[in-house]
Structure 1
Amino acid sequence: MTIYRHALFLLAIASKTGTALATEGGGSIYPLGAEEYICCALPKPGIYGMLWGRHFNADKIRNNDGKVVSDQSFKVKASAIVPRIVWITPVEIMGASLGFHAIMPIVNLNVKVAPGVSQNKTGIGDMTVGGVLGWRLGDKLHSVAALEFFIPTGDYHKNNIANIGRNHWAVQPVLGVTRIDPIGLNMGIKTMWTYNFRNKDTNYLSGQELIIDYTLGWGVGKGWTLGVGGYAYWQVTNDSQDGKSVPDNKGRAYAIGPSIRYDSGKKWFITGKYQVDTGVRNRADGTTFWLKAVLPF
């Protein structure tokens, strides 16, 4: 699932600040912090619908030293409704359930980089498809191994200020673990390595990324879990432009905030969380609100 903070206008920002943003446009094809407590626990065989809502807001960009390099007019607001379909098959491989999923976000993006320089776009973002193996390790512990593919279906033009697509493919192996307890410790840790392919329109290759989504909370009974969640993000290889490495622009960011989950006990649940970026380097610095619902068909 692609989104939404990648849509900064790189050339305009660079010309104003003398700073190159990490990865092309300063974002990631994966929506950082998307997962929550049961990220890595597969349900029983069947078809499930998920619906995510997300709102991201940023009013500053930080450079390689963590200093704000954008002026007061800079703003990014991005909202998305993200349907996801999950199919858990009755097939088992190496003791794991086999599943598949597809995600197609619908995005509204408003970017302002300078007085009188802004753009608003609404449309379909980049699609994600993937396969997953899920193991049940006990009554409360679960794990997954997955492979996801990001498909450049979103609107993109290299001269746009706001792009809701990244115009390149990416592949992402995933490992994760989840602990679920109605009364007690709950946690979800999902680790991802993102390999980006080249943007053919700009000949820009974004660096590889290590991402960890996490949640940690306590089941307090009656279906409620209270805790915190967020992500850790590191760009681990340099970008390259026209085959030449781009120095001193690796991205980094961490986020944390409250996370609340309600499980109805009737196979549907809803999660809400708010996360604040910290330790940001070469990226937009902002806040994100998530709302996620899961319903069986």
Structure 2
Amino acid sequence: MSLSLFSRVCGLALTVAGVGVAHATEGQQLRALLGAPGQEMTVPQNPGLYGQLWYQHYEATRFLDGGGHRQAIDVGNGVEAERGGAIVANVVVPRLTYLSETYWGEGRLGVSATIPMIDLTAHTTLTGRFPTGFPDAMKPYVQAQLNAAAAGASDSTTAQGDMEIAPFIDFQDDTSRVILMTAFVVPTGDYNKDNVVNAGAGRFWTWRPGFVYGRAWDNGLEFGTRVTYSFNGVNSATHVRSGQYVHADYSLMYRYSDLWRFGLQGYAVKQFTKDTGPGVAADGNKAQTYALGPSVGYQSEDGEFAAELKVLPEFHARNRPEGTTSWLRLMFRLD
């Protein structure tokens, strides 16, 4: 083995952080609850205080680069290390929404607050891909170094995530709903730049303006979407600024009865500006992902309680994991 390859393999533990293990925007994760909105995008709400308790399970075993290929690290001398393993997240999301009787024009003023509680595990494997002519006797040694680096890039955490506060104006009529909002994500989550995984995204704020549009037709069809655009500050712990991205949730449901809805829901994320700062990859870690899957919703006759279950497989991911997001969502009126 050449000295160059030896030094690169021994230093791989420092390089592995670049493949996106950390739970942060700059680590190829997103500061967003993908797929969280549901039938409340289309169902009109009366003024009052509403509670939501959501549970998300996310699991991914594919880690893709900017070209949609499996992520790999260039170790040197033609050797690459392909990223494998799994990311598993279980998230409990308490949320409060208050819709007031106060009007601004024809819309009511309201505010929501969301604080996710996150249990996150990252298990990393690194498999050596060797060029033709690489000495067979050296492959086990190189793979042992990769295994050690992968073990150092595997960890878990259970902690509070970052809180989102979203003032909004709600315009409703008998068939449609439009909400204009400007959300702020506060860095309340547990975060340490030296950790492999974090519940918080980093030491920075995010400003997230957006809107919700929902429409219901007499034939039972309901369409809803929530679209936001995120502007991120500089992470004071790493001096990295994560890029700007659009995040859209969407729903097409059929109102089978006053109680039950069935249909499809999903989400789309597209990052438009590069991450900037020390150690950022040349492509700026520009992320994207899409998801679409089945959903079933229930709402009580008096409108005091609702529940929803959906499973959303991801596709066409870039610079991030690709897996499946599942949600169980409970909503109830508190006053």
Structure 1 272/244 Cα, relative in aligned 2: closer, same or farther at 3 Å? Answer: closer
Whether 2:276 is the aligned partner of 1:240: answer yes
In structure 2, the CA distance between the partners of 1:225 and 1:275, relative to structure 1 (3 Å rule), is: same
Alpha-carbon spacing, 1:97–1:18, altered in 2? closer, same or farther (3 Å): closer
Task: Say whether the 8 Å CA contact 1:226–1:259 is kept in structure 2.
Answer: yes
The count of aligned residue pairs is 286
Question: Does residue 191 of structure 1 match 2:193?
Answer: no
Post-superposition offset of 1:20: 6.9
* Residue identity opposite 1:209 in structure 2: Y
SS in 1 for 2:235: coil
* Residue 216 (structure 1) aligned to one of 252, 265, 277: 252
1:69 Cα deviation from its structure 2 partner: 1.8
Q: Which runs of 5+ in 2 are unaligned?
A: 1-10, 73-81, 126-149
- The answer to whether the aligner puts 1:251 opposite 2:287 as a matched pair is yes
* Residue 209 of structure 1, CA deviation: 0.4
- 1:12 to 1:251, Cα distance in 2 relative to 1, 3 A: farther
Normalized per residue, the structure richer in helix is 2
Paired residue secondary structure (1:128): strand
Distance, in Å, in 1 between the alignment partners of 2:170 and 2:253 is: 22
> Which residue identity lines up with residue 132 of structure 1 in the other structure?
F
* Counterpart selection for 2:155 from 119, 125, 130: 119
Larger-Rg structure: 2
Correspondence for 1:43 among 42, 45, 62: 45
What is the rounded CA distance, in whole Å, between the counterparts of 2:292 and 2:169 in structure 1? 28
RMSD: 2.4
Gaps (5+ residues) in structure 1? Answer: 1-10
**Shift in CA distance, 93/132, structure 1 to aligned 2, threshold 3 Å:** same
In structure 1, the residue matched to 2:140 is none
What secondary structure is seen at the aligned counterpart in 2 of 1:15? helix
- 1:60 is aligned to 2:62: yes
Aligned CA distance change for structure 1 residues 13 and 111 (closer, same or farther; 3 Å): farther
For residues 13 and 32 of structure 1, what CA distance do their matches in structure 2 show? 30
Aligned counterparts of 1:279 and 1:14: Cα–Cα separation in 2:
29
- The share of aligned pairs that are identical, in percent, is 29
Alpha-carbon distance, 1:265 to partner: 1.5
Would you say the 8 A contact 2:71–2:83 is kept in 1?
Answer: no
Deviation for aligned residue 1:31: 1.3
The offset of 1:88, in angstroms, is 1.1
Aligned-pair distance for 1:12? 7.5
Matched, 1:109 2:120: yes
1:8 aligned partner: none
For 1:52-85, what per-residue CA distance to the aligned partner results, in whole angstroms no more than 9, with x for missing partners? Answer: 1100001121011100126474211100111111
Q: Which is richer in strand?
A: 1
Q: What does 1:105-184 correspond to in 2, within 5 Å?
A: 105-114=116-125, 115-117=150-152, 118-136=154-172, 138-167=173-202, 168-180=204-216, 184=220
Instruction: State whether structure 2 residue 324 is matched by structure 1 residue 280.
Output: no
Q: 2:103 aligned to 89, 92, 98, which one?
A: 92
Query: Hey, what's the Cα distance between the residues in 2 that align with 1:210 and 1:185?
Result: 26
Cα distance between partner residues in 2 of 1:17 and 1:246:
15
Residue matched to 2:331 = 294
Q: Give the alignment's TM-score, normalised by structure 2.
A: 0.79
